[in-house]
Amino acid sequence: MSTIAHTRSHAVTYAGRGVVAGLAGGVVFGMLMAMTGMLPMVAMLVGSESAVVGGAVHLVISAAIGLVFGILAGAFAHRILPVLGAGLGYGLVWWVLGALVLMPTMMGMPVFMIDEAAVMSLMGHAVYGLVAAATLYALSRGDA
């Protein structure tokens, strides 16, 4: 197999693993969001106020950003501490991008507003990143 084909094969493998990892993180974060009543706000991104719709939107977003995480972290996904650190950092980046910038902008709200909901979201994004990273690690352990 050529180097390019081998690299492409690894990217596809880690993209797929990233989707699974993102969904795992999304399910755990989604449970936290359900307990705090945040899913209807996520549903508002697509013109709904349904918690079920919010949960579905949240999982689609979780899978998409998990795919990117899988590609970015694939090279070291078989090493627990580096991948957990990367997952935590990735979750925090998405807290800033998603919860503090993109979502408020899309909903006509002020950006970078730090309140109790934002702090809860920070914790949820950290949990997302750690669960996604742990899942990616579990899927990649034999790659060393």
Predicted confidence (pLDDT) per residue in 89-116, tens digit: 999 999 999 999 999 999 899 999 999 9
Helix 51-73 vs helix 116-140: crossing angle, to nearest 10:
50
Does residue 30 carry a pLDDT above 80? Answer: yes
What Å distances lie between residue 79 and 71, 94, 96, 118, 126, CA to CA? 15, 22, 26, 31, 19
List the domain range (segments joined by +) for residue 72: 2-139
> Could you tell me if residue 17 is inside a domain?
yes
> Could you tell me if residue 42 is inside a domain?
yes
What global pTM score does this model have?
0.91
The Cα 141–Cα 135 span in angstroms is 10
The secondary structure of 11-60 as a DSSP string is: HHHHHHHHHHHHHHHHHHHHHHHHHTT-HHHHHGGGT---HHHHHHHHHH
Domain total in the chain: 1
Q: What is the pLDDT of residues 4-28, one digit of tens each?
A: 655 667 889 999 999 999 999 999 9
> What is the percentage of the chain residues whose pLDDT exceeds 70?
94
The Cα 41–Cα 3 span in angstroms is 45
Per-residue model confidence (pLDDT) at position 42: 95
> Could you tell me if residue 94 is inside a domain?
yes
> Could you tell me if residue 50 is inside a domain?
yes
> Could you tell me if residue 144 is inside a domain?
no
Per-residue model confidence (pLDDT) at position 4: 64
- Residue 50: phi and psi, rounded to 5, are -80, 130
Q: What is the pLDDT of residues 64-80, one digit of tens each?
A: 999 999 999 999 999 99
